[in-house]
Copies of this chain bind each other. A is one copy, B any other.
Amino acid sequence: MDKEILFQQFVAFTTSVHEATFELTKNVKPEDITPLQYSILEYIAVSQPVTLSQISECKHISMPNTSRELRKLTEKQLCEKFEVPDDRRKQLIRLSESGQTMMNKAFQQIGTRFFERIQYLSAEDLDEIQHALAILQSKVFDANK
């Protein structure tokens, strides 16, 4: 096993993943929110409830900027802030009902495109894919976590 060749394959692979992500997600974001705001909403959607600090850390956005974008999102009624009882400095953030609806719609579009992509694959192919995803995630991508 030549590690140099594996590295090249890895680079090509991640490029393909980024491009596929682009294709699967293009145009799912409503006009009136920015890309950054959409990516924050995506994060909230899968991890809610979250604190501002979590968003800041996971999305690599400074606290002031996270605060600003979150203010805009709450102004647009897409998410809501809740006080946390045991620590009044913190805030828990969830999608609002309309935010949830919006993200459900987005995820559904992405899902549809994903299913189109895999529709011609056999059950064995799908098993193989599921196995490959698990292997790579545990041994390469989530390594050192």
Contact = CB atoms under 8 A, between A and B. Distances in A.
Interface of A: 1, 3-4, 6-7, 9-14, 16-22, 46, 60, 110-111, 114-115, 117-118, 121, 123, 125-137, 139-144
What's the dominant secondary structure at chain A's contact region? helix
A110 B7 CA distance: 9
Contacts of A129: 6, 135-136, 139-140
B14 A21 contact: yes
Contact of A13 (B9, B60, B121, B133): B133
Contacts of A117: 140, 143-144
- Copies assembled: 2
A122 B40 CA distance: 37
A70 B16 CA distance: 24
A123 to B, nearest CB: 6
A22 B60 contact: yes
B13 A137 contact: yes
Nearest to A130: B6
